[in-house]
């Protein structure tokens, strides 16, 4: 398996450090991206995205958890929709959750800026496919 070209910058927004560690390992093993950033809640990520100094290091793909402290995935999406026009870059967002609640799935699908809803844990094959779809 080789890097899907061009290399994507990946952002993981999740408060579960063990999950982030596992996802980073999987991305590394599958050689999907050498560039990975992590945030433990939506507010940290929004602060990063809105900082003009970070304009050249915006992610291509975001893996977004729903349930987090400070600002959850829904709050992140509300803020993201407002700042998206200023970013000047297409960012693919996958909402990733262990929730199989139909309300969560339908709510995510109703937000046009969310590309897909993915149930945790993400299998290696699914991860590779998500990167292909975002290419």
Among residues 107, 75, 112, 110, which one has the least CA distance to residue 93? 112
Query: In sequence order, which residues have a C-beta less than 8 Å from that of residue 101 and are 6 or more positions away?
Result: none
C-alpha to C-alpha distance for 121 and 124, rounded to whole angstroms? 9
CATH T-level fold of 9-134: Rossmann fold (3.40.50)
The per-residue pLDDT of the chain, averaged, comes to: 92
Written in H, E and C, the secondary structure of the chain is: CCCCCCCCEEEEECCCHHHHHHHHHHHHHCCCCCEEEEECCHHHHHHHHHCHHHHHHCCCEEEECCCCCCCCHHHHHHHHHHHHHHHCCCCEEEEEECCCCHHHHHHHHCCCCEEEEEECCCCHHHHHHHHHHHC
pLDDT band with cut points at 50, 70 and 90 for residue 7: low
As a whole number of angstroms, the distance between CA 62 and CA 45 comes to 10
Share of the chain above pLDDT 90, in %: 81
Cα 90 from Cα 93, distance rounded (Å): 10
Q: Does the structure show a pLDDT above 90 at 6?
A: no
Tell me: pLDDT of 2 over 70.
no
Q: By the 8 A CB rule, do 95 and 64 touch?
A: yes
Could you read off the pLDDT of 58-99 as tens digits, one per residue? 999 999 999 999 999 999 999 999 999 999 899 999 999 998
Average pLDDT of 23-39? 93
Report the largest interatomic distance among the alpha carbons of the chain, rounded to a whole angstrom: 39
What is the pLDDT at residue 82? Answer: 96
């Amino acid at each position: 398996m080789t890097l899907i070209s061009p290399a994507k910058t990946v952002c993981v927004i999740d408060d579960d450090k063990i999950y982030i560690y596992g996802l980073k390992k999987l991305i590394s093993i599958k050689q999907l991206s050498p560039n990975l950033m992590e945030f433990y809640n939506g507010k940290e990520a929004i602060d990063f995205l809105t900082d003009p100094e970070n304009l050249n290091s915006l992610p291509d793909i975001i893996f977004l958890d729903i349930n987090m402290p400070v600002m959850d995935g829904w709050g992140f999406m509300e803020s993201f929709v407002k700042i998206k026009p200023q970013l000047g870059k297409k960012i693919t967002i996958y909402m990733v959750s262990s929730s199989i609640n139909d309300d969560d799935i339908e709510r995510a699908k109703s937000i046009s800026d969310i590309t897909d809803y993915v149930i945790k844990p993400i299998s290696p094959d699914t991860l590779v496919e998500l990167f292909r779809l975002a290419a």
